[in-house]
Structures are given as structure tokens and as C-alpha cells.
Amino acid sequence: MREPVLRYCRGRMGAGERHLFSADDVAQEVLMAVMTALPRYQDQGRPFMAFVYGIASHKVADAMRSASRIKADPVDELPETVDFANGPEQSALEADAGRQMRLLLEHLPEKQREILVLRLVVGLSAEETADMVDSSPGAVRVAQHRALSKLKKLVNQGGGRR
């Protein structure tokens, strides 16, 4: 359960962004909250992961709200391992691309953003995503198409560059 939760948190928050809370920290909070809530969990005919992603969604929102209230800049985290495959230029380009994508995603409604993260980052099927967001698979596909079309339009308006 840790890997899908971590992918979800990284998709929503970014893996290398400078936040007060890292996506890894929030994923850990999610798993602890799931364990705490487990005795109160009641099967309502939806997948258990819908319950988990609901908790994850709230924990990510809480972390982002907390980070926005604090005006101090966090210090860059030191990586646990050194990646010699990519040089500093490649790492900087990848970080900038991730930042630009998160800025683009902010233009989408919350549900479309959630659907894109679940489908493209976590890798869920339309049916699985529909269960997570309490929708139909067809509505998920339509929302994904509209979200991608809007992102494409935004990129084309800005030329895809800064």
C-alpha cells in the first residue's frame, strides 16, 4: 500500500519540490492515519484504496495549507543517494519541468487534477479511478480528456516555454 500512496503524494506535491513537508513525509502520515482509522472502517462496497486515497487527499491538502502559511524558505533536502547518471544540468531541467507541470495543474479544477494524478501518476485504470473519485469510468475518461485538452491549450498559449 505504501508505493501507490507515495506515488499519489509525489504526484500531488512533487518529489523534489521545496516544501515544509516532503511527499514522503505526507505518505507516512497517510499510512499512520489509515492504521488509526482502520478500526472504524466499514466496507461500503467501494474498494479499500478509495478509503486510503480519500485520506491521502486530505493529508496532502493539509500539508499544502500548512506550507503556504509558513513564510520561511525550507532548506534544500540532501538526497539519500547520489544519482551519477544525471548531471546537474539534467537534474535542473527535470526539476523545472516538474515545477512547470504543477503550475499548469493548478489551472484545473480539483476533480480533474485528482483524476490526472490517479490515472497518469499512480497508474490506475479508468474503472479504478472511477471507484476512487465516486464517478463512472466514462465520466473519468471525459474529465481526463478535458483536463489534457485544457493543459495542451495552456501550453500552446504559452508556447510551452517560459
pLDDT, residue 162, reads 46
Alpha-carbon distance 24 to 31, whole Å? 11
- CA of residue 18 relative to chain centroid, distance: 15
Those residues whose C-beta lies under 8 Å from the C-beta of residue 4, and which sit 6 or more positions away, are 49, 52, 122
**Block means of pLDDT (10 residues each) for the chain, length 162 residues?**
88 67 89 94 88 91 79 55 62 68 85 90 89 92 95 80 48
Digit-coded pLDDT (tens) for 68-101: 776 555 555 555 555 556 666 666 666 666 777 7
CB 133 within 8 A of CB 140: yes
Which domains does the chain possess? 1-78 (1.10.1740), 97-162 (1.10.10.10)
Task: Take residue 120 and report the three cell numbers written for it.
Answer: 497518469
